[in-house]
Amino acid sequence: MRRMDAPADAEGKAEGPYVPAGQRGTPSWLTQAAILVRKDVAIEVRTGEVLVTSGFFAVLVVVLGSLAFYIGPETKSQVAAGVIWLAVAFASVLALGRLWQRERDDGALDGILTTPVSRSALFAGKAVGLLAFLLLIELVVVPLSMLFFSLDVALVGPGLLTIALVATPGVAATGTLFGAMTARTRARDLVLAVVLFPLLSPTLLTAVVATRELLGGTPLGELGDYLRILGVFDVAFVAAGLGLFGTLMEA
């Protein structure tokens, strides 16, 4: 008997299960990336493990840094710039560890790799998710740093926001690329820190110097060279991630 849910060919034979026209084919690249972002966000909304652990650690770095190194208004620009980006750097490592731990649990990563998902879309989805988490952490770290170091919100707030928005995509892209590379290693947390920090150093050093200059009184308009350098790093790391992620995952 011919299946009622399958269209028949000219000889009356069933060709297979009927799939509506609007549901055929593989989702587009953007749809695949968006699905992966929604997955990470939905898990985070339910558990809160990435933001709570990474955010708490970042806040602790800010508090300890302000108590240990801040000795007066003459040092605030140097100390605050380092404290802010140290907090972001350490928080990014913790966030990466938790994000890829989810994929390792119960073979979730192997399951994703067996689906017809573009490897570059997988990279983009994980990177955008990490970028969102880091920006949320920075929304806590930056105001707290401004409070502890007595910074003028109206004067340096927009500049700090601009530097963070330009620098963070490079951090997220680099972390996602090499977080995937170390996801299957036994000493993954140690390997991730050893590999990641040297690669993040150009972005972090540029962001620290730009922040120091901003807090020292340099107008944001005169920091264009630093922002362009950060932009170059962003493009380079994102392009490397899109091009190399599939190779790293198959290795």
Q: What integer pLDDT is reported at residue 251 of this predicted model?
A: 59
Report if residue 5 sits inside a domain. Answer: no
Mean pLDDT along residues 79-83:
89
Each residue's pLDDT tens digit, 130-187: 999 999 999 999 999 888 888 888 889 899 999 999 999 999 998 888 777 766 666 5
CA distance 203 to 6: 56
The closest of 227, 38, 200, 49 to 128, measured between CA atoms, is 38
Instruction: Tell me, yes or no, whether 117 lies in a domain.
Output: yes
The reply to whether 116 falls in a domain is yes
Q: What is the mean pLDDT of residues 93-109?
A: 75
Q: Count of domains in the chain?
A: 1
80 to 58, 87, 149, 153, 163: CA distances (angstroms): 13, 11, 7, 14, 14
Residue 6 resides in a domain: no
Higher pLDDT, 111 or 237: 237
Question: Is pLDDT at 119 greater than 50 in this prediction?
Answer: yes
Any domain includes 205: yes
CB 64 within 8 A of CB 146: no
Q: Is position 16 within any domain?
A: no
- Is 114 in contact with 250 (CB distance < 8 Å)? no
Determine the pLDDT at residue 11: 47
For 156, the domain range is: 29-250
The residues, ordered by sequence, that sit 6+ positions from 225 with a Cβ below 8 Å of its Cβ are: none
With respect to residue 111, please indicate whether it lies within any of the assigned structural domains.
Answer: yes
CA distance 113 to 165: 31
**Domain assignment present for 18:** no
pLDDT at position 150: 84
The token pair that represents 91 in the structure block: 């928080």
Is the confidence at residue 48, as pLDDT, over 70? yes
pLDDT at 110 over 50: yes
pLDDT at 6: 45
Nearest to 160 by CA among 223, 205, 89, 231: 223
